[in-house]
Chains A and B, each alone.
Chain A
Amino acid sequence: MTVSFSLSRPENKNEALTNRLSGILRQILIARNDLAADRDVASSTFAALGLTSVDYLEFILNVEADLNIDIPDEAMLNPALSSVDTWAAWLADNAASLQTPGIGAA
């Protein structure tokens, strides 16, 4: 499913992305009946949330499906992208190169 949204200001775009990514991650945490779902999943690192590599792949695939994009492996392996916040910022910064209809589309 691809949901487009129209946002003119970068900070709003980031905020909207953060909310969408947080929603995806929260669903994964709820599915594993994890108390961490109650936390601030946007700013907590994946390490703090106890995400395993399989959880992480589930998150990434869902983000790709939701935004209708393909994320390059280099980004997936980038340890600096360690939370929803950092991912949202990265996606916003790289929206053009990702040719992402789901990010910032009018």
Chain B
Amino acid sequence: MPAEGQAPGTRIALVGPREEAFLDNVDLEHRETMLRSYEEICGDVVAFGSDYTISREFLGIGYLAAVLRREGHLVRVIGANNSGLADDVVLTELLTFGPRVVGISVLYDLQLASAIILSKRLKAALPGVVIVFGGPLASAISELLLSTFPFIDCVIEGEGESALARLVEAVEVGTELGEVPALVHRGVNGIVRNPRAEPLDLDSLPHPSRDVIEAIRARRLPVPSAYLTTSRGCKAFCTFCTVPNIVRGMKTGVYRMRDPVDVVSEMESLVRDLGVTRFYMADDNFLGYGEDSNRRMLGLADEILRRRLRINFHAECRVDSLVPDTLVRLRAAGFDQILFGLESGSRRTLKRWAKGQTVEQNEAAISLARSLGLDMMPSIILLDWESDLAEVEETIAFIERNQLYRSGQPLWLVNKLKVHCGTAASRRYDNVHGKPVLPAISDDVSIRSWCAKATYQGIPIENAHVAAFWGALNGAANRWSVLLDEIVPRFLKAARQAARGADKVEQIELVRRIAMFRRSIGPWLVELMRLLIAEAMERERRCAPAGDWRDFAESFVAERERQFFAGGLAESLREHGRRRWFGAPAIGSGASAQALIGQTP
């Protein structure tokens, strides 16, 4: 901290950039277009229950802010996507604040274009500002960013806390950047990559700043789940995951844990000071590895129980980390929802992705979670660009056998592997097909095209039968997703209002019918998967050309809808709205909805 009478530290802005979908991607999955702010989500009365409480809090930025504030700097946190801020608003806010350093955290592909375009405009308006990128995606393409975009000054690779603090020090006193760990920057002879520092002792870090939750409370919105990490890193080397790139080269500390007592102290202060009741454990593998991790988990559960915290939490876990007695204790402490990285029901696929777990382990984990009364959220990657039909069929059989389609979000099962930069999967793709050829940069449109190419958007599936299967299935899933995410909520909101102070029978009947329709989507989805894969396999067996089943899938979806709503769901709701709620909103008016289902508003 600066001493009394001393000038305050440097002004630093930390930005979580807005997300934007790559709409030109023919394989676009609808959920990628649902990039609403937390306020919008809460504005839909449909957004209650367990669905809405997850904000997009940037915990990484929260840690950076806390470290910089501890050193006496003046830090502004701008969560553009969480607050629904347009680029113009972010830019104005930055210019008003007048930072000396701006850190932009780029976690994944959807944020890249907005981060780059924002940086370009910021540098033009404020030439003296130092713009530093960080986060998993920026770490993976650091040299490419610096060699392409002159307005980005440097990139911090991997853990950012101490590196950013050292960078700010160097900027303050005008010293060379060579001493800043993990910094990639421009030197006299080209781009320089500084060595990384030792992994941080997590217990030496302050608790992350909670600007996002404080801003949400200030707007009198419901308090969202708070993100929390109890550990960092992962010992697995799944080919599709960005974590191995972050821990690359570390001799120690690939997986590090926090003191569970301190974790619970952080939870307790969030409960007491911000009214948080639910936590989203953002650890790469919450349960960890081996006896040390198990003791830590037991310590965490016991401490939560000892302090009588009435909280619940969600966590993501590997299936080979489960210890039944520990799960029972964690369940008692509030653990109620577990996300398993199952990924596949095919041995060959799991092996190709170096998942390090078996189909049998997946199935045992599912049974255990269910027997303990945990809501089990299955993470499945149905296929990748190299999948063959037999592999996909094995995963469909796995979904059927374990009734994964009965989860609350069955459409998440329709998921194609994304090739993330810096992963083994991207290196494999480059080896087979060569690195993506990137377009020249001239304007913002070309920056977006560059980002799409650089992040492997829309890479084709090799097997034509698998591609046909995917095209039809994804089209059906998009249709259902548009109905559930964009159309149904407005009518539920209207039904809720109509039921207020009135006879609720008609509204209850409508909501019950929509609920039954929603619950039926899982079984329908797996039925469609089975029909499509059987047809594709038959064609391949006959050496026939791949079919086009998009019309068939569309008819399948429409026919199932009519089982509940004679004129189709959208039309029936619109008709219901005309009768019940004069001036009910138009259906399917969102651009993404039109693009995906070809519906005229």
Q: Which residues of A contact B (CB under 8 A)?
A: 28, 31-32, 34-36, 39-40, 44-58, 60-62, 64-65, 70, 73, 76-80, 82
The interface of chain B, by Cβ under 8 A from chain A, is 42, 45-53, 222-225, 275, 277-278, 312, 314, 336-337, 370, 373-375, 406-408, 488-489, 492, 495-496, 499-501, 504-505, 507-508, 511-512, 514-516, 518-519
Chain B residue with the shortest CB-CB distance to A43:
B373
- Cα–Cα distance between A70 and B500 once the two chains are bound (Å): 6
A69 → chain B closest CB, angstroms:
10
Q: What is the CA–CA distance of A10 and B75 in the complex, to the nearest angstrom?
A: 49
Q: From B312, B504, B512, give the contact of A45 (CB < 8 A).
A: B312
User: Which chain B residue has the least Cβ–Cβ distance from A54?
Assistant: B515
A-B contact count (CB 8 A): 119
Besides the known contacts A46-B50, A54-B518, A76-B45, 9 further A-B residue pairs in the complex with CB atoms under 8 A apart: A35-B370, A45-B312, A48-B373, A48-B374, A52-B515, A53-B492, A57-B49, A58-B512, A73-B496
The answer to whether B48 and A77 have CB atoms under 8 Å apart is: yes
**In the bound complex, do residue A44 and residue B48 qualify as a contact, i.e. CB atoms below 8 Å apart?**
no
Residue pair A47, B512 in contact (C-beta under 8 Å): no
> A51, B50: Cβ atoms under 8 Å?
yes
In the complex, what residues of B have CB within 8 A of residue A79's CB? 53, 222-225, 277-278
Report the separation of the CA atoms of residues A79 and B38 in the bound assembly, to the nearest whole angstrom: 14
Tell me, rounded to whole Å, the shortest Cβ–Cβ distance linking B286 to chain A.
16
Cβ distance A82 to chain B, nearest Cβ, rounded Å: 6
Shortest beta-carbon distance, B11 to chain A, in Å? 34
Give min CB distance, B491 to chain A, whole Å: 11
Q: Are A73 and B508 in contact (CB under 8 A)?
A: no
The minimal Cβ–Cβ distance linking B97 to chain A, given in whole angstroms, is 31
Report Cα–Cα, A57/B337, bound state, in Å: 20
Assess whether A47 is in contact with B277, with CB atoms less than 8 Å apart. Answer: no
Complex formed: what's the CA distance from A49 to B49 in Å? 11
State whether A58 touches B511 (Cβ < 8 A): yes
Give the distance to chain A from B379, nearest Cβ to Cβ, in Å: 15
Q: Are A78 and B222 in contact (CB under 8 A)?
A: yes
B337 touches A48 (CB 8 A): yes
Q: Which residues of A contact B499 (CB under 8 A)?
A: 61, 64
Q: A58-B508, A58-B511, A82-B277 are in contact. Are A47 and B314 (CB under 8 A)?
A: yes
**Most-contacted residue by chain B among A44, A46, A77 (CB, 10 A):** A77
Closest to B336 in A: A48
Q: How far is the CA of A105 from the CA of B80 in the complex (A)?
A: 49
CB A88 to nearest CB in B, in angstroms, measures: 15
Chain A residue at smallest Cβ distance from B512:
A58
Contact of A52 among B51, B500, B504 (CB under 8 A): B51
Give chain A residues whose Cβ lies under 8 Å from the Cβ of B507: 61
- Residues of A within 8 Å of B278, CB to CB, are 47, 79, 82
| Inter-subunit contact B337/A51 (CB<8 Å) | no
Kindly list chain B residues whose C-beta atoms are within 8 Å of the C-beta of A52.
49-51, 408, 515, 518
Which residues of B have CB within 8 Å of A76?
Answer: 45, 48
**Cross-interface CB contact of B52 among A34, A53, A73, A80, cutoff 8 Å:** A53
Interface centre among B47, B48, B501 (most CB of A within 10 A): B48
Question: Which A residues lie within 8 Å of B370 (CB)?
Answer: 35
Nearest chain A residue, comparing its CB with the CB of B488: A54
Q: When the two chains form their complex, are residues B375 and A50 in contact, meaning their CB atoms are under 8 A apart? A: yes
Closest to A86 in B: B310
CB distance from B222 to the nearest CB of A (A): 4
B375 touches A57 (CB 8 A): no
Contact A51/B49 with A44-B336, A80-B277 known, Cβ cut-off 8 Å: yes
CA of A83 to CA of B423 in the docked complex: distance in angstroms?
A: 41
Q: Shortest CB–CB separation between residue A85 and chain B, in angstroms?
A: 10
Considering the chains assembled together, what is the distance between the CA atoms of A32 and B278 in angstroms? 26
A54 touches B224 (CB 8 A): no
Report the bound CA distance from A60 to B496 in whole Å.
9
Q: Which of B492, B495, B508 contacts A62 (CB 8 A)?
A: B508
**Distance (Å) between the CB of B54 and the closest chain A CB?**
10
Are B511 and A61 in touch, CB under 8 angstroms?
yes
| Contact A56:B48 (CB < 8 A) given known A32-B519, A70-B500 | yes
**Smallest Cβ distance from B257 to chain A, in angstroms?**
25
In the assembled complex, the Cα of A30 lies from the Cα of B516 at a distance in Å of 11
